[in-house]
Amino acid sequence: MIHSDSDPIPGQLPRLAEGEVVYRQVSPGGNPVFFQADRDPPLNYTLFLPSRADLDGLSLIRQAHRAPVWAAFRPEQPDVRFRLAVVSVSLLQAIDSEAGFSATGYKATPDALDEQQGEPWAHAVAEHINRPAYDRDKARLKSWAKLVAALVSAGSIIGPFPAPAVNDRYRPSQADNGANL
Amino acid sequence: MRLTGPELRQVHDAIVQAFSLPDLAQVFQFVFDQPLAVAVNVNQPLGSATLDLLNWAQQRGQLAQLLRALGKERPDSRSLWQVLHSVGLETEPVTPPVSSPTVPRTVEPVSGHAAVTGQPFGKPASPAEVGPSALAPRALDDAQSRVVREVLANFKLDELQLLVADHFPDPFRNLDSFVATHGRIGEAVIADLVRHVNSQHLANELVAGLRSRRPRDPRVQTLAAQLGLLGDAPQGPSPAGHNLSPDLCPPAPAARAPRQASEFAIWLGKLPELQFNLLRAALPLSFSSVPGSGPVAQRAKTLLDWAQGSSGPGLPALIQLARALWPQILTGGAIDAAAARADDWAIPILALRGEQGARPGEGSSPRAEPRAETAENTQAWERAAAALRRLLVAPPSDGGEVPSPGTIHAALSWLAWLRERAPWAPPTAILPMAEGGLLIERETEDEAGHLTTAELSLTNDRTAEFTLFRNHHVIETRLVPWEHAFLPKAFYA
């Protein structure tokens, strides 16, 4: 059963709803350095693999709770201009099935900006896409990341964005939530 | 206010001549009440920071405000004022009072019409012109593509880069980068550009860009008229004459749409439930219209109706998405591991003994179907190696992780090893890894649309791994030797 964070399970992290849309930050330098002209340049699937720091899961940002200019910003890397891959939780869940995951979880967990701005938390993780799981079952997590990359078209990448200014709205407007999927 | 590519270059050069980075930071702080670092990376050369700053201000509609402030700060800079005048920002005499630091008079309010309309100051838009975004996305036909290639052949490299930067919605797909990779404009880079424009249906944007740079070229005017950029109905060849051959990736030519829609509906209706749900899941906006359960044939028809309705993305977008899902949808998720293991790279790499124990030069397994290296193959191998060598000399400075020199050398040695064993099978892509390293990839698609991807990942901490994918699913993943000792001198030439 899927819960939204308006209906959290007491004592547990709020789960993301099926209809939610999330961002994944795309770092600069993800472009191919070479590709053949007769093929499309691939979207770099390693963007969807857990890093060594992703012990609790792959980081995502909830479109409904953080405006793109802030979602593309990391306080600890203020000079790096990230892009955002836009993807729905339902698509990720369908890929979970395709990749053969039996236990999955998309949960909101606070990051530094959430600590400043308060609830509802905008940061979330795909709990099952974590580094220890990757080290145990590389094939499954690579398949998952490859499928996500195949299904997130280049048109679903937005940005890069300038660094947010103090007067930039933190919570998204309706227009922000119409971001291209 | 929006500058054309040449204007942007003029303004950029004038600012770089007139300001140091600390001076720019000071003006920025005074004007925007924020440190320059909120807008650009200040730990980069002045030229790059200036270009980033101009783009930043242009994106926010604050370019005129910035340029006026810079002009005020340098009232005695003749070159800066000439440039500001040439882009229509000021009506003051070009020759400023050299002996007196009088601040030049500005004639447009900060929030003037230029910022609102997006037109350059002093250059009202012709009412007959139509912006590229107002027209349906389309590709060029063969004849139009040929004309575009002829026109672009006279462009300088930086002119082409500015065209790409100015007129394409998002250069994420690396157009400017691969222009840089080629190093000069030749037939190959122009062919790549035209191919990209056609596959992404960006013909309107490209021709609008050509018009801004070659406004008097009759060939460009003819193209603009054919596409309807002059405000007339599109003339000339039918948009159906695009360059894309597969049935399932066209830009919805009207005459074909009904047949295509019905074929697509039949095909959708035969999908296994899991695969149909995967397609539906990729379109969350369809949820309110298309039920999550029920007979697939019925839901497929509903999905198609929704896609073509006012709230849907249109048939071409749906087909494009389905094409991205093609292998899974077509095969029902069936994976043919044996076919993947017969891959040109998989055969020699999987024949390497042990996971870590193989020595350089090992793995000379029999070649499945030895073929000669064609001229096209040779070019691909050499372009891949050249791209790696270029990384050694000029690593990217965009804030991402950079492959270490050791990783690049290892990649070069792998290229040499693979070229010796499968000269007919060059890589299709080399990608940087998020955590530092390189992926060398060869993706092939068979006649039935099944994808096989053979991939070597080389990380900066000196681990090397081979992964074999079939239709995006991992068939095999194993550690392999970090590098090969044998490296022809040609790779370092």
Q: Is the pLDDT of residue B364 over 50?
A: no
- Do residue B430 and residue A166 have CB atoms under 8 angstroms apart? no
Residue ranges in B87-213 assigned as alpha helix (H) = 113-117, 142-152, 157-167, 175-182, 187-200, 203-213
* DSSP helix, strand, coil percent of chain A (3-state; round to 5): 30, 15, 55
Q: How far apart are CA B86 and CA B265, in angstroms?
A: 56
CB distance B228 to B135 below 8 Å: yes
Residue ranges in B325-437 assigned as alpha helix (H) = 326-331, 337-341, 346-350, 375-393, 405-421
The fraction of chain B above a pLDDT of 90, given in percent, is 12
B100 min Cα distance to partner chain A (Å): 36
Section B177-190 average pLDDT: 57
Domain that holds residue A135: 21-157
The model's confidence at residue B159, banded by pLDDT at 50, 70 and 90, is low
Using CB atoms, which residue from B38, B177, B384 is nearest to A165? B38
CB within 8 Å of chain B, chain A residues 19-48: 19, 21, 27-37, 39-42, 44, 46-47
- Do residue B474 and residue A142 have CB atoms under 8 angstroms apart? yes
CB distance A162 to B56 below 8 Å: yes
Question: Would you tell me how many other CB atoms lie within 10 Å of the CB of residue A155?
Answer: 16
pLDDT per position as a tens digit, B291-329: 878 888 888 888 888 887 877 777 777 776 776 665 555
The angle formed by the CA atoms of residues A175, A78 and A146, to the nearest 5 degrees, is: 65
Q: Is residue A2 part of a domain?
A: no
The model's confidence at residue B242, banded by pLDDT at 50, 70 and 90, is very low
Kindly list the residues from chain A whose CB atom is less than 8 angstroms away from the CB atom of residue B177: 31-33
DSSP for residue B202: B
B328 touches chain A (CB under 8 A): yes
Tally of structural domains, chain A: 1
Give φ, ψ of B454 to 5 degrees. -105, 130
Q: Is residue A141 part of a domain?
A: yes
- The one-letter amino acid code at B326 reads W
Search chain B and give the residue with CA nearest A150.
Answer: B324
Kindly list the residues from chain B whose CB atom is less than 8 angstroms away from the CB atom of residue A39: 428-429, 443
Kindly list the residues from chain A whose CB atom is less than 8 angstroms away from the CB atom of residue B435: 46, 51-52
Q: Is residue A133 part of a domain?
A: yes
Q: Is residue A175 part of a domain?
A: no
- Do residue B39 and residue A41 have CB atoms under 8 angstroms apart? no
Q: Is residue A162 part of a domain?
A: no
Q: Is the pLDDT of residue A106 over 90?
A: yes
Q: Is residue A28 part of a domain?
A: yes
Q: Is the pLDDT of residue B233 over 60?
A: no
Residue that wins the pLDDT comparison between B487 and A159: A159
pLDDT per position as a tens digit, B391-401: 888 777 655 67
B93 min Cα distance to partner chain A (Å): 35
In the sheet that A21-26 helps form, which strands lie side by side, from edge to edge? Answer: A106-108, A123-126, A58-62, A21-26, A83-88, A157-158
Q: Is residue A15 part of a domain?
A: no
Predicted confidence at residue A139, as pLDDT, reads 93
Lowest model confidence (mean pLDDT) among A128-137, B259-268, B467-476: B259-268
Kindly list the residues from chain B whose CB atom is less than 8 angstroms away from the CB atom of residue A157: 170, 172
CB within 8 Å of chain A, chain B residues 167-226: 170, 172-174, 177-178, 181, 188, 191-192, 195, 199
Q: Is residue A121 part of a domain?
A: yes
B490 touches chain A (CB under 8 A): no
CB pairs < 8 Å spanning A and B: 178
pLDDT per position as a tens digit, B131-142: 665 677 788 888
User: Residue B429: helix, strand or coil by DSSP?
Assistant: strand
Search chain B and give the residue with CA nearest A166.
Answer: B34
B366: preceding bond cis by omega (within 30 degrees): no
Section B59-80 average pLDDT: 78
